[in-house]
Each structure stands twice: as structure tokens, then as C-alpha cells.
Amino acid sequence: MTSTLLLTDPLFLRHDPGPEHPESPERLTRILKLLEHEPISGTERRAPRPATEEELAAVHTPRLREYLRGLRGRTEVIDPDTLTSPDSYDAAVLAAGASVQAVEEVLAGRARNAFALVRPPGHHAEPDRAMGFCLFNNVAIAAEAARRQGAERVLIFDWDVHHGNGTQAAFWQRRDVLYMSVHQYPYYPDTGASFEVGEGPGAGYTLNCGMPGGGTDADYGAFFQDLFLPVAEAYAPDLVLVSAGFDAHRADPLADMALTERGFAAMSTALKALAESVCGGRLVMMLEGGYALEALSQSVHACVEVMAEDMKDSFPEGVSREAAAALQRSREALEPYWRVLGR
């Protein structure tokens, strides 16, 4: 069995939103260069397959799929943030396929865990709308694939600094997929308030912890200890998926959080331990944001070390007043649905 499968392809570098765009091909280039310069034992790098039309259709509407297919070979402005180049459509289909393939390999036991190193990112893409640098929602497509392959309960954890509105929308009324997000709030895309908990059968199965800028490794540790991990353990998922954005790093130019690469490694450690305790270690990460190139590459490298080499990192102690208040708001919103949060 492969310890940690890394799925990536040169096609991802041909998605080019333009010379001034922060979601540049250099993001992935820098990650891959560091992984080559400082190789991590226990990893295997492999080329992925494209997503099928059936896999895309599990999340996205015919209208959106037809619209994006029509952009193939074209340079287009979808919105002020989201631009395509001639290879963008094919890269997006391959990114979705890589995410599904990562799930397939892990569920089949051919890899202990996996990281889909892809572009474009996906978590802002809604069922009927591409936005926020994203065309197809990679993690949502992967979650649907996992359900079809027999996973009864799937956990999606989103630590990108921006709230994953598209992923939330895809599973808003579902309880077979539990969506958790920690993010800066209020901030783009103006969703992710603590009171957004899902509705109907999915009430209580969306967990949002949004906080003002400045959140530290210790603050994120408090969110994990007092909110995310207790609920996740009670949910006992069959698979853990991570929307792994690295724009909450203190060096990132697009946000105001203060995480370090050690904070990302600590989150990886906690989620790997969760997966090992409830679902045989089945853990899959998909690359989302992160725009400070050195911080991005170092943070991804730290997470892969945790996944592949059994390295561990821990959160520092302490929590800021602002983070404690945000945590309390989220706990109060979710206590009616999760007995484990009752005091």
C-alpha cells in the first residue's frame, strides 16, 4: 500500500488566469519544486484521470456544465475574480477527477491517504455558478463519489481562509455529508456565519466558525478541541476530506489571519488522528487557496510530512478573546443538534 498518494499533472500549470492574478501557475510550481528538493519518504506521485460527466453532474447543473464546456479553448472573464485561459476547462475537469481518484484509491485501500495537488481550486463553485477562482467544486464532487462507493457518512473540513460557500450549498439539506469550516468572517464571499447550520434534514450538519482577522495557531487549536473534534468524533465519518487552503497563513496577501506552517501541520495531525480513530485512517486533502508562495509551499510540505511520515505537531496553548467569542457563538448555534456540545 502507498502511504501517501500525491496526484498532480502538468496540465494544472496551463490554467492561467492572467499575469496579475493571485491564483497563478507558480503556486503549484513552487509546491512541486519543494517536494522534489526536499522529498518526503512514503509518498508516491501519480498522474490523475479526468472526471466523468456523471461525476460532474452529481454536483453541478446541466446549465453550468454546458456553459463551462463552451469556454474550452477560450480566454474568458466569468466574473472579476474568475478568468479562464484556453486550457482552463480541461484543467478543471482533471482537478475534479484527481479528487475523485484520490478518494477511490483511499477507499479501496491502495493508499493510506492522499493529497490532490490541483488547480483551479473548487470550494467556491456552487451547483449552478462558477466563482471565486473556482470552476468545478472538487471536494463536493469527491464527496459524492465517496457516497456512491459506499461511504455512508463523509466529513468535509475546510480550513481555507475564505468560507466554502459552494460546498455548503451542495450539502445544505443533507446529513450524509457533514461540512465544517473555519474562516475569516465577515469576509469574501459574505457567507459562513455561525447561525448557518443547514436546514431540513441537514439542520446541524453545517458547522461554521468564522472570526475576525488575526487568528493564531492557538486560536485554531481551541476551535478543534472545543468544537470540531467532539462533533466529528460523534459523527464518526467513513472518510475525512479536507479543503486545504493555505491563505490563513500570516504571510498571505489576501487575508488577515496569523497561522504558521506549524498550525497547518497541527490541523493535519488532528485530522489524521481523527481519521485513524474512526475510519481506518481514510483521509484525503485537496488544494484550495494560498497565495504567498513560500508560505504555501512550506505549509503543504509540512502537511504531507504529517500524512506520510507519522510526524506530529500540536497546537500551542491559549486563545484570544476574539476567537473565544467566535467559538462560543458557534457552539451556541450547534448545541441544539449535538449533545456532545452541551455543558
Would you call 124 a catalytic residue per the annotation? yes
Largest Cα separation within the chain, whole Å, is 56
Q: What is the DSSP letter of 188?
A: T
Residue 131's nearest CA partner among 56, 51, 182, 77 is 77
Is residue 201 exposed (0-12), middle (13-18) or buried (19+ Cβ within 10 Å)?
Answer: exposed
**Cell output for 156:** 468535509
Which string of DSSP letters, residue by residue, matches 41-57?
TTEEEE---PPPHHHHH
Q: How far is CA 12 from the centre of its chain?
A: 17
| Catalytic hit among 15, 60, 123, 124 | 124
* Residue spans of alpha helices (H) in the chain: 25-37, 53-57, 62-69, 88-107, 138-148, 165-170, 217-223, 229-235, 261-278, 293-309, 321-334
Distance CA 337, CA 203 (A): 8
Report in angstroms the alpha-carbon separations of 85 from 32, 72, 75, 79.
Answer: 22, 8, 4, 14
Helices 293-309, 261-278: crossing angle, 10 deg rounding: 30
Give the residues across from 155 on adjacent strands.
178, 240
Distance CA 99, CA 109 (A): 16
Q: What is the DSSP letter of 259?
A: B
> What torsion do the CA atoms of 317, 266, 248, 295 make, to the nearest 10 degrees?
120
Give the residue numbers marked as catalytic: 124
